[in-house]
Structure 1
Amino acid sequence: MRQVSRRSVSFCEIAKGQLMANHGDVLKADVDRYLYEANALDDLEDVCKVSLWAAEKIPNEEQAANLIAWTLSLQASMYESIGKVETAIDLNLRGYEMRLAEKPLKHSLLGGFEQNLAYNYNTANQHEKALEWFIKSKDRIIAWNLEEGREADWPTVTKKNMARCLVYLGQHAEAEKLLNDSITEFKQEKVLNWAMIAYAYFVKGTLERKTNRLEAAEASFIEAQNLWMRGDQTRLHPFHAGCIYKISVTCLDQGKIEAAVKHLGEALTMTKFHANTMPAEHARCLFKLSEALLQESYNDGDKAKDLRDDAEMYLLRRDAQVTEFGREDSYDLLVPIFWR
């Protein structure tokens, strides 16, 4: 085993406490920010192994179970981010089954696992199954709130993520209503979570592009990028690269070739940083830049061919079974749902 960095250990101790208190998207954002800023996936994998080993030594069964379930969720987040979504699903199902066996049930944690599984199935392009898990999470939290004498409400973050799922199911009107509600609710919070609002605007841009509102889509992706940076998030995070990439492709859609080339070049400096672990993200930037350079204003066929060859090489690193390289979807379908 590699030597585990002190920074990874410190981070995991902090994250462990956060997750036991609040399982879900907020922790996921913190986890992802650390991982991609430090590029410490190897360290994190080691720390997770150590955590599982340590759980076996904890005499208190409840504390041990909490540590194991937290670690499984963290591992799942890591594997989903690097394209191993089936492994992520298996890990989250294991954690979910552990939580289902607890008495009394911890509904907030179960709802978190149900939402995590919905993310996983979105990334795996099983959107109908993802929606089933989102509905499970929603119904559980509403029932729990009523049981505790609270309003029949459900988390804003779940609304935003379900809206994204509905976008990919083609249920655009319902998705837009749910998304607008979530953005309004996010902005009404006492302490603004800039990352979550940024994710919401990214979904908004995705919806607008799918419904051919290209100027609006470009504006939403720009807003997502600005909100992300306003929250002091790391520039090298793949979500930030995803924002720049989406700005570029909406420019390309509108025939704004110079702007598209500029933004794609910027996105490539970010995706290159993660190209070994996230080759699909890098591949799609190379592919779209190759398309841009074939436009009349550039007409650089030689450079475009080199970029296309590189794009295919990186995509095959992500999935050796790929046979179609000439469509945007060939790349996007292999990118995690959060910055797809």
Structure 2
Amino acid sequence: MAQRSSHPHRVAVVVDEGTNPFEVGVATELFGLPRPELGLPGPLYEVVLCTPAPEVRINHGFFVMAGTAGLDAVDGADTLVVPGRPDNIAPRSAPVLDAIRRAHARGARILSFCTGSFALAEAGLLDGRRATTHWMWAEAFRQLHPRVRLEPDVLFVDDGDILTAAGSAAALDLGLHVLRRDHGAEIANAVSRRLVFAAHRDGGQKQFVERPVPEVPDESLGPLLAWAQERLGEPLTVAELAARAAVSPATLHRRFRTQLGTTPLAWLTGERVALACRLIERGEERLDVVAARSGLGTAANLRARLRRATGLSPSAYRRRFGPAAGEPLMA
């Protein structure tokens, strides 16, 4: 998708009547701001806000957006972002739906944030495909769009050229996932640090739906995670993590499920793969060294894990994101 080149990847954000401004802010924050701290020769993306009218009232009329481009700007975008809005049952305007269909038909990548997936489904883009939406609207979505393979429990779904985020905050997770996919783990981590946001929450994590508050809240996993991240190259086991946290393995599993929506082993593997990506991006070419330093053990396991996480072999990942691309990376 977006490549490191002299021509930035073009992102269009459709701002319709009633659009949630938080998600517009997520799109502009992630894709539109300059990143001088990265030391890159130019911006990562070129962002344009598009509206179906010269003035659009958003978020129950709290804001009025004017001075934006028209929907014709969508036709020049490489990626189209469709934020959500509160009135999901009301049909979208024909010009907005037509713009979404045109973008998809010519091969643009389509992202929806929160209930923006309703617009994609209404445009006919999601029939037979995997997608997600905010858990509060899952049942309404199923009733309106029964042909969509809805996955209501996850943070986001990457279905190739169409990616859907479950909620407003999950839009940040999806956006960082796109940055990682486009520009590598090092760039995505640098942006997440500037946002003071978790660098990587896997899309398969569960949404934080309403549940009874436990009488005795679990302690934060933060100290344990920080401790483990400093020792990824060591042969850590779930039993060792549990011992460090002074709990049983079963209790540790329960805390990981409750607080992170994943298992200790899955989290540990994800962190090791992310570290392996950073090592490759920083120029380490010896796969056995990358595998050892990241805790993945063998070059064969590194290849398998990296391909599963990124769809790329180590050599292909290096060609796409390594120093040979000619751009400086964060220290």
Give me the TM-score of the superposition, normalised by structure 2: 0.29
Which has a greater percent of strand?
2
Structure with more relative contact order (C-alpha pairs < 8 Å, separation 6 or more): 2
Judging by fraction of residues, say which structure has more helix.
Answer: 1
